[in-house]
């Protein structure tokens, strides 16, 4: 490809991008989103929050097993150790505190207890 042809293609692409940018400047939905973003940043600054704080408030994540351990320690009960099992066939990872887990039982029924015992991950 000649340099002149390459230059003209780049120039045309730039014109197309500038036209797209100009059309976005007049888009009312974009203006609403930008206004919302500005107001949200002001609120975050006013209350001293970070964006992650807002995400945590609006979409709380379920407690992880390790966090549940900390809660159980406060109750005075003995905390069971977490066992991590990895199925080498499917790659599925299972965290459990008991051998009475539905998935673990299904694996043992399907593949045999001795074979599944080798799937327990060492600490």
pLDDT digits (tens, 9 = 90+) for 49-83: 998 888 888 877 776 666 666 666 666 667 778 88
The domain ranges of the chain are 3-58, 65-117
Mean pLDDT of 83-108: 88
pLDDT of residue 60: 75
Report whether pLDDT(118) > 80: yes
Q: What is the pTM assigned to this prediction?
A: 0.40
Burial class (CB in 10 A: 0-12, 13-18, 19+), 15: exposed
Check: CB of residue 81 under 8 Å from CB of residue 65: no
State yes or no: pLDDT of 91 exceeds 80.
Answer: yes
């Amino acid at each position: 490809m000649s340099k002149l042809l390459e230059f003209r293609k780049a120039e045309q692409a730039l014109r197309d991008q500038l036209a797209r940018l100009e059309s976005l400047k007049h888009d009312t939905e974009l203006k609403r989103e930008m206004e919302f973003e500005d107001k949200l940043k002001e609120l975050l600054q006013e209350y001293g929050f970070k964006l992650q704080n807002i995400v945590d408030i609006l979409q709380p994540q379920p407690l992880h097993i390790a966090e549940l351990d900390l809660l159980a320690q406060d109750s005075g009960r003995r905390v069971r150790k977490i066992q991590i099992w990895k199925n080498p066939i499917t790659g599925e990872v299972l965290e459990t505190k008991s051998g009475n887990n539905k998935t673990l039982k299904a694996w043992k029924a399907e593949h045999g207890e001795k074979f599944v015992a080798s799937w327990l991950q060492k600490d």
